[in-house]
Amino acid sequence: MAKIVLHGEAIKLRLQGYTFGQIKRELGVAKSTLSDWLKNLPLSEEQLQLLAKNRNTSRDIRIERFRQTARNKRLLRLTNIFNEQKRELLPLSERELLIAGLFLYWGEGSKYRGRVAISNTDPRVIQFALYWMDKALKIPRSKLRILLHLYSDMDIKQETLFWSKSLRIPLGQFTKPYIKRTTREGLSYKSFGHGTCNLVCCDSALAEKIAMSIKAIAEYCGAKSSLFWYN
């Protein structure tokens, strides 16, 4: 069974109140994999109390409570680190925001001449890219076009509405989505479940400025090469 199907089945069982041990026995998935898939789905106290009535699940319950205690400690530690970093890093100056976006563009941006575009499956990355384009590059939102790459087994209308709502961009700025003939069933890598979103703006002068800005930063850091997409 493909990993994406197992992933979905594991989540269904978890929401029904199954322990890690029960799901492992049911699906034959490694504990490490389940830990990754279900890390944000702890059992509620009510679900644990229901499980406690079954003697066969006593060991599973002990493991679940241990995992929850460890999870709570981890979340507290991360919350403290998060608050420390917020105080240290924020707010970003316009220059700092510009540079942060340039590094994102170097990794995820379009390398086609005359076009400024960033694509990703993570809605938060696209939301940041939109913020960067708006605040640092001063691109009017009305100039942006959204192109979605979706799979044939997706609800196209639902996914388009998802991205429109997430980005607060009207449907009129969405171009016809590219629909892959394949389905998600055979995928083995992690995904956010909403396809790939491309933020696109056709602006040759801005595309050249972004490219040369990245080249300047790269050379400053010692990454000098004659191989560059705008050479």
**Beta strand ranges found along 75-221 (DSSP E):** 115-120, 145-151, 178-180, 196-202
Strands of the sheet containing 145-151, edge to edge, are: 115-120, 196-202, 145-151, 178-180
Distance CA 132, CA 139 (A): 9
Residues 83 and 23 in one domain: yes
Phi-psi bin for 17: left (phi > 0), alpha (psi -120 to 50), beta? left
> d(Cα 178, Cα 149) in Å, to the nearest integer?
5
Does 65 lie in the same domain as 142? no
The total of structural domains in the chain comes to 2
- pLDDT band per the 50, 70, 90 thresholds, residue 188: very low
Q: Which residue has the tokens 């994102």?
A: 104
225 domain-assigned: no
Asked if residue 145 belongs to a domain, the reply is: yes
Q: Which residue range(s) make up the domain with 170?
A: 94-220
Report which residue type is found at 152: S
Asked, for residue 231, whether it belongs to a domain, the answer is no
- When pLDDT is averaged across residues 107-112 and rounded to a whole number, the result is 93
pTM: 0.77
Residues 102 and 169 reside in one and the same domain: yes
Mean pLDDT value of segment 30-37: 84
229 part of a folded domain: no
